[in-house]
Structure 1
Amino acid sequence: MELQMVLFRMLVLVIMCSVNPFARASEVINSSCLEDCGNVSIPYPFGIGNGCYVGDWFEIVCKSSNDSYDPRFLKPFLKKFNREVLDINITASTVRVEYPIFSSCTNGMESTNNSELAKAPFFFSDINNNFVAMGCHNDASMRSIFPDPSISYGGCKSPCDKAPFTYGSFCNATNCCQTAVPSHLHAFSTVIEPKNNGRSDECNYAFLIDRNWFETKFTKPNPNMSVPVVLEWGIDNASLYSLPTVKNSNLTAILEYNSSMAYYCSRPQITRIGDSSAPRCRCNNGYRGNPYLLRGCRDIDECASAHLNRCAYEERCENTEGYYRCVPSNYKSKKPFIIIGVSTSLGVLFLIFGGWWSYKVIKKRRRVKRKEKFFKQNGGLLLEKQLSTNNKDNVENIKLFNSKELEKATDQFSADRIIGHGGQGTIYKGMLADGRIVAIKKSNIIDEEKLQEFINEVVILSKINHRNVVKLLGCCLETEVPLLIYEFISNGTLAQYLNGQNEKFPPTWDMRLRIAIEVAGALFYLHSAASSPIYHRDIKSTNILLDEKYRAKIADFGISRYVNIDQTHLSTLVHGTFGYVDPEYFQSSQFTDKSDVYSFGVVLAELLTGEKAISSTGMRDTKSLATFFVSSMEGNNLFGILDSQVLKEAEKEKIITVANLTKRCLNLKGRKRPTMREVAMELEVIQMSQRASNLKQKYGEIEDVETEISEQYDVTSSLDSQSLLLST
């Protein structure tokens, strides 16, 4: 029967605790109350939201400092007098707030009232705050607001000399003084007397400030700033009976010190400045926590740490509610437990270390296997086979970079490092460990066709060594998609240059002609002077890069192909860029060296006109620049479509010569187009003729220039093709 009664009482107690909202949480009044705002903890009796604070004076609103909902900018404010809360200390019954300073920038007397705490359970802490005056001969004081404003609570007069304002961390320099704050100060006025022998061009300041903050972090005042001030608080009489502790206990017992309780509240002793006797609550000795909540004060386990108890070495500490006790203990009886404890600890450490080491080994093996998988997936074996079968070319082997080196070089392939998007991937700018700036092409998702293009580009570029072809430095195959590493070309593409994106160095006629010669020379090298002829198959202005000296460099060899010396064409599916593709190749699927010539002819047309290969504006009769250029020449309208810079700088005869060469390159029948050897030679002759003409015009001493050039042309045409190769 007694057992049943005990069980019944326990059941009733559980039900009452579940009904009572104050028993649900330890640090807040109930589970729906916010426990912090920004980085400030909000303990009860303060709170955010209805039912979460003890009274109106303790209500806190959490709002953003810049009208956004970003949690990083949320700050708590005491709603009653709109002061930002910096921190709340339950144990010390203090709250630190931002408080504006008072300043005077005139010669007259000025004052301000600080009365928002007149009826509040808050007052300015005399322990934590000081009254500070700053300025040259600044006579500032705190005075009573009522009943007699002439009563002074304290003040000081800052010294002054000819030296500029200097602020020491303890107000021990010129232009600064400080004094103590009276206890239980609720309201006062700040008065700055008229300046006497002070500098009229400077402001004087008088303010309360957190003493510790002033000594460690304060630098220099300004009229609109606020500084930390510490307020002490108690529970006002209107809110006292709302406390969960008071509602469930005897108020008289709480307001008296009782060592048998986990907490107690007391009224502070008052000196006649304010009239507040609001009680403050404390956790009793042996407890810590929040005394304003039921079961908020929890027992401290003094036996958990040696500095919390005074048990002798031969004694054993036993924790009790609110205290502890020391009981005799046999030293020998502890030894087995010590041995067991040490052994257990070592065993646990061994397990932890062994598990960590095993995890690292497994993770490393997985990483190695993953890299091996990607190496095979990205054609590493095919690349090794291709390079080994071409060792007869005596080309310097490309470097295989590791993924960590390239991730570091590109800040983990940050979007900020992207400098372009090619047909086969994205281009990133990076810096290697040795300081070299490189361009890293990250291929698109690899399928079998793309993989073949990638391997093809690596093999072809590994065998090319020409100053007008982008140099391949290496590749990385141990990532999910393969990476190619090139020398970095700083001035973008020819297309960007012609489209007016560089106002500092506009494309002059001489630069256009030089770029055309460099591209033609590189293509002639690929077609005729390389160990095996190479067809680029995607010549266009976006695949022609310009270095720091605006020298042209051909890039993107993803769809390029080797051909045998006696082979006249390649039979492939049509690849290339619309507007540059040879119409004959488009119809027959047979790519010849004259197909590259056609694409180069489109680039020549771009250099002459400044137009894009394909127009989307509708300002010309046809979208194709090649068709538009040829029809304009046949309609005797060449000079109506040329770029203004070309018309301004170039001689009419030279323009016509280059235009005719362009027209021949754009012939619809490949057999009627010139070879790249002939194109490169004719462009060089035009350049030499122009130089000679410029010299003749400048010095007037060159005779029979055209004859001399003609003779040189005849001599050059009889040389072997190797002698025409541009220096590499």
Structure 2
Amino acid sequence: MIKVHGLFLVAIFSIVYSQLVNGQSRRGCQTRCGNVSIEYPFGISTDCYYAGQDSFNLTCNETTNELFAANLQVINISHSGEMRILNPRSYTCYNTTNVTEGTSYNTTLRSFSLSNKNRFTAVGCNTYAFMTTTYDNKNYSIRCLSICDSIPKENGLCTGEGCCHTSVPKGSNHFIISSSRVDREEGMFSFNPCSYAFLVEEDMFSFSPYRDLQNLRNVTEFPVVLDWSIGNQTCKQVGSTSICGQNSVCLDSTTRTGYNCKCKAGYDGNPYLQEGCRDINECTNSSPIHRHNCSGSSTCVNTMGHFLCSCPSGFDLNATANGCMRQHKPENHRSIIIVLGTTVGFMAILLVVVCIQQRMRHMKNIELRKQFFEQNGGGVLRQRLSGEGPSNVDVKIFTEEGMKEATNGYDESRILGQGGQGTVYKGILPDNSVVAIKKARLGDCSQVEQFINEVLVLSQINHRNVVKLLGCCLETEVPLLVYEFVTNGTLFDHLDGSLFNSSLTWEHRLRIAIEVAGTLAYLHSSASIPIIHRDIKTANILLDENLTAKVADFGASKLIPMNKEQLTTMVQGTLGYLDPEYFTTGLLNEKSDVYSFGVVLMELLSGQKALCFERPEYSRHLVSYFSCATKEKRLNEIIDSQVMNEYNRREIQEAALISVECTRLMGEERPKMKEVAAKLEGLKVSETKHQWSDRYTEPRVNEQLSYVETISAQGDMSSSGYASRM
């Protein structure tokens, strides 16, 4: 029997949900269209929806009993700020000679946005799916590649064989989906004539190879989750003009601008109506969620927003079991009253003394925290953030108590790494999310400026391959930075093999190089203010559980004003990665990052350290050793034996040429990061094509290579990963 698609599960969910919840709209307004409940602030006719938002005006097709928001078919709306719609899928069908038919979809969500609960999915053998999204007037691309040469045997798994899926960034309000096939083998058209690409709510699509590779064309739409909110202001900004009704609270939307309403605990109903939410009578409610827990002879008494358990005369309430127990009468009632009175009086005096002491201690702590705030650059940071243009990061301010609790009192077992500038701890926040907390070294006042610089730089960055700054704590003796937790160590750890068994394939290394190059190209060309990282190295590239690269450590980074191409600065960086021209002249520009990236690319190709005095003298400096080997066509001596094979030899040689171009002695002779990223992307496409070809052509190596000189200096000017330069 063919397994039921997630689409039909959504339809069943919609019917059941609409039967359990009565539509709560304004009086005289339509409450239902087909099987979908319509609740305010949404509505169909004038005065039935929130007038401040035209997108809440819905249309009911009386012929088909289908509900629409503009051209989007609605299947469910929740008070929590979510709407489920049906969205078409893109497809392309082939025969042995050409494309027979197909379509791509361009969808605009008006004032709604995509939820991160969706998955971008591709179905088909050798299928390449592409999705372009728009967020904050910027375009982002998502890709998915599904490979197979026969029908996969595993059901329900979407792991890249016949089916692939990937996450979707939240907040997008416009997207385009298309699909194509990488190559066309004749035998494939009998069991997989078409390639498909679509958005679908997570866990609502289960891949079945025998069914979906042949018949998915019969399913034309999939459920997609959208986020909605009221207006584009926060609860604090709208104040008393919020449309939230009685017994409800206003909550800022966590996924987009605007706010949503929620009933208070103990209340239920539509929080957007003027009459708001109504008290739940726990004493008569049969729902397991809202039913009282009074037991034994105790009686439930309903109160507004809660309930009480009452006992008859002569019985006391057992607070543990919410049952009644018989009172014990004392033999000497008067003596007990005297003892109790004396005890209560003494406790009252003691309580007053303790309260006064705590109040004094609290005031002292407040003054001390204010002092630490200014000492740690809080005032300067606030001034610089407000004067550098729009910020892409919402920097959260954490408390000292929250940081101690998250790190278990800075316990040694929570240490992730230590460097010359401080210590990084693993932290667990109250919502059980795991973070990395960077703590500066005590007594090192020079780190305050670098701390301010790192927050300032990260406030300008919004990129999936940059470690996200979640917030900071300024009220402690030394400043703390809170980052997202990246689980899989640094690229240096994986290449060195000291903490991880080196299992990085050529595909992994090429993808990591593409992600880092794309990130640097974004920093140089697409950030609101151009940024030079100034310390790119394998120790500052973190890897998550999927081996996705995350660039870290922006303490030494520089923001470049729009009217300048370079800055004169004190030289900072790491030996082996440091641009010789920058080291000599002190002039910093984007080509300094290009040089450092070239060294990282050489490490990815060779598996060797950038600078190692344990190696023979001719190979201590990786740049000169690698460049000579490339020029003299001796790459087989230096390329990591784990990565090169007969199918990827040409791509590795071309990547080696790119690394040599990046590390040329003169900065003006090096390519820009945009050009480097484009060349590496071209290698990825070339590699995919070569996996499906039995022929191989030996490439020509460019003999006109510049010999790259390296420098020698004393001391390492950097640390690594989270723990560097706070």
TM, length-normalised to structure 2: 0.47
Greater relative contact order (CA < 8 Å, ≥ 6 in sequence):
2
In our comparison, the structure showing a higher alpha carbon Rg is 1
Task: Flag the structure with higher helix content.
Answer: 1
